[in-house]
Structure 1
Amino acid sequence: MRNALGLMLASLVAAVAIAGVWFWTSSPRADASPPQTVAARTPDPLPAGAAKDDVDTTAALSKRADATAPTAQPAAAPAPAAVPAPVTAAPKQACANPDALGVSRTVVVDTTGGPGFGFLQYKQYDFLTDKEVVLTFDDGPWPTTPAVLKALADECTKAVFFPIGLHTTYHPDILRQVLAAGHTIGAHTWSHAHLANKKITEQQAKDEIEKGFSAVKIALGTDPAPFFRFPALAHTPATTAYLGSRNIAMFSVDVDSNDFKSKSADEVTTNVMTKLEKQGKGIILMHDLQKHTAQALPTLLRRLKAGGYKVVWMKPKTQLETLPEYDAMMTKIEKPNTAGRPVGNVVQTVAE
């Protein structure tokens, strides 16, 4: 009797234990988290600075995983996201001249609507402070341009160049030297045509502008800056409106070197410094195809430094997208053959 009682008691204890285990494993727990599938998992945050394409790619990969992942099994823990390699900025080349004129500041120009610079004609944007100057050169590229580039490099300073389209077909290698030196390159028409001439139609003026920019692009192999200077500073309401529609900035002048009619390098330097002392600041107009300008530039830059003037370098927010029809036109331009004729037989100095 006692043995039977013991057996009944043991069976009862075992049944209670089994029921407890069943209750524990089948009841929900407040602190339990359901297993996550790839579809339900919150995506890992993207690294700072990730591009929109990165976001789109991440979403596409998640959708692909959703379609192929088994629904009855929890997804494996995601592999840690790869850390993007840091982008190392190109080292800035140190200036070899400790007393160089240099560049005081760089300004980025938003050319939307075709703003104008240079108080001789455009007075809306007074962005230069006292003793600040912008160096600009027209009419290149020419065999004198490398001497101008050397003078600028010796002083570790930057300028804006407005080349003539036709000249770029003569000396594309020289224009590429301007680009390699890091200067800003705009355009100065195709043939240096006077666009305010009444004999030039609006279409011809447009052609001069666009052919000039496309010629620069063909020579450089890259888009030019949307910076333009009118030959002889001669604009019309129609040409300024057209440049505005193309979001091309117009450049006039504050200080004209008059180097195209100067008789010596000293005269070029004197013209610039005399006008600067009166103006106090401004955009300086020079011509890199002028021999006297190339000769004057080393002294002129030293005079600017000694006078406390500082160079402001202008560059565009975005480059100009040239028009395909003009690009095609310029690629068909036959390059001039000058190998058989020395320069002295073509261009002679008759007075100095």
Structure 2
Amino acid sequence: MRNALGLLLATVVAALAITGVWYWLSKPNPANAAAQSAAAKPSESAPPPARVAAKASKDAPKDDVEITGTLPSKTAAASSALALPKSTCANPDALGISRTVVVDTTGGPGFGLDHFKQFDFLADREVVLTFDDGPWPVNTPAVLKALADECTTGIFFSIGKHATYHPEILRQVLAAGHTVGVHTWSHANLNGKKMTDEAAKEELEKGFSAVKFALGTNPAPFFRFPQLQHRPSAVAYLGSRNVAMFSCDVDSFDFRSKDPDQVVNTVMTGLDKKGKGIILMHDFQKNTALALPTLLRRLKAGGYKVVAMKAKGTLDTLPEYDAMVGQDPKLPTTMTNARPISSVIQTVSQ
């Protein structure tokens, strides 16, 4: 009897021991479970490239922002999308900018078929808007507003003296995204009989320094001769300074127009004859400021497109002329080649 009870007790103990071991072995380990869960669930911070592309295509913001690389969390993605600047124009029917080209000014290339034939880079119905003789109160701001309303751009060739008179206006031109070039110091005719090479050089360099002085930064290495009088020695000098020279294809003759309508008609007649070109206007002239809103609408209606021209680099002024401008007692006291076209002009946006 005792032997039977002992055998039964031993059997029960053995069964309980086996059950405990099985339970311990089958119980999930928290560390192992976390690792297994992480392995089974794709990481939100580093999804496979195919998933990133699919997600970007499906959920791309309405302003066509393309998402590349890793996909951030939903909260971060939403914040990033909200921070993106708007690239659309407020005017849905604006003239706009069809393309932007960057100019390598090495050697002083020339543009405008009236004087320079080599770099004919504009396509049919493409135009470049240029403005001389500013900055000037009322008229230059009116020109800036007309350009802004049509979300388009131009090149402003500033007279050095005018830049020193109204530096705040010239800074507005630059801040609006337009290109600022130079139109000599005092608008002197560099091809005049009494003009010496040294005097011509001073007109050029003081103009460069004055525009820099007004802007607080280097201007673009773009230059237009007053009265389109291209002094040969000055052309050679500008080439040595790597400054691009601008003539024109269509002259508005706004300085002798009797009213804004005449400015518009002169430009459109010239364009319809030539089909494209660099347009010469003056933001100094009241009739141009008044005519520009109508002219820009006529350009759009006629199928013309604006090309923006930017320089690859800036113009380094010469210290001795910087000093001459800075020490001028008349200044306000409140002022702070033979190359292929493809090597000179490069479209960077279209």
- TM-score, scaled relative to structure 1: 0.70
- Mapped partners of 2:326, 2:122: distance in 1: 39
Offset at 1:329?
1.1
Q: What SS is found at the alignment partner of 1:125?
A: coil
Offset at 1:237?
1.6
- Mapped partners of 1:140, 1:287: distance in 2: 7
Alignment of 1:1-352 (within 5 A): 91=85, 93-143=87-137, 144-335=139-330
Which residue of the partner structure matches residue 4 of structure 1? none
Give the residue type in structure 2 aligned to 1:233. Answer: L
Q: What SS is found at the alignment partner of 2:314?
A: coil
- Mapped partners of 1:292, 1:111: distance in 2: 32
- Mapped partners of 1:93, 1:174: distance in 2: 25
Greater mean alpha carbon deviation, residues 282-291 or residues 318-327 = 318-327
Paired residues in the alignment total 251
Q: What SS is found at the alignment partner of 1:186?
A: strand
Offset at 1:198?
1.7
Mapped contact 1:161–1:183 kept (Cα < 8 A): yes
Offset at 1:321?
0.6
Offset at 1:91?
3.3
Offset at 1:94?
2.8
Give the residue type in structure 2 aligned to 1:136. Answer: T
Offset at 1:93?
4.2
Which residue of the partner structure matches residue 346 of structure 1? none
Offset at 1:337?
6.8
Shift >6 Å, 4+ stretches: none
Distance change in 2, residues 1:171/1:90 (3 Å): farther
Q: What SS is found at the alignment partner of 1:119?
A: coil
Which residue of the partner structure matches residue 15 of structure 1? none
Q: Percent identity?
A: 73
- Mapped partners of 1:148, 1:120: distance in 2: 25
Q: Deviations over 1:106-159 (max 9, x none)?
A: 000000000000000000001000000000000000011000000000000010
Q: Deviations over 1:236-292 (max 9, x none)?
A: 220100000000000000000000000000000000001100000000000001000
Give the residue type in structure 1 aligned to 2:256. Answer: K
- Mapped partners of 1:237, 1:290: distance in 2: 29
Say which structure is richer in helix: 2
- Mapped partners of 2:100, 2:88: distance in 1: 17
Instruction: Structure 2: state its 5+ residue gaps.
Output: 1-80, 334-350
- TM-score, scaled relative to structure 2: 0.70
Q: What SS is found at the alignment partner of 1:273?
A: helix
Mapped contact 1:210–1:322 kept (Cα < 8 A): yes
Give the residue type in structure 1 aligned to 2:225. Answer: F
Give the residue type in structure 2 aligned to 1:291. Answer: K
Mapped contact 2:164–2:332 kept (Cα < 8 A): no
- Mapped partners of 2:223, 2:124: distance in 1: 25
Give the residue type in structure 1 aligned to 2:99. Answer: R
Give the residue type in structure 1 aligned to 2:108. Answer: G
Which residue of the partner structure matches residue 20 of structure 2? none
Q: What SS is found at the alignment partner of 2:182?
A: coil
Give the residue type in structure 2 aligned to 1:195. Answer: L
Mapped contact 1:170–1:335 kept (Cα < 8 A): no
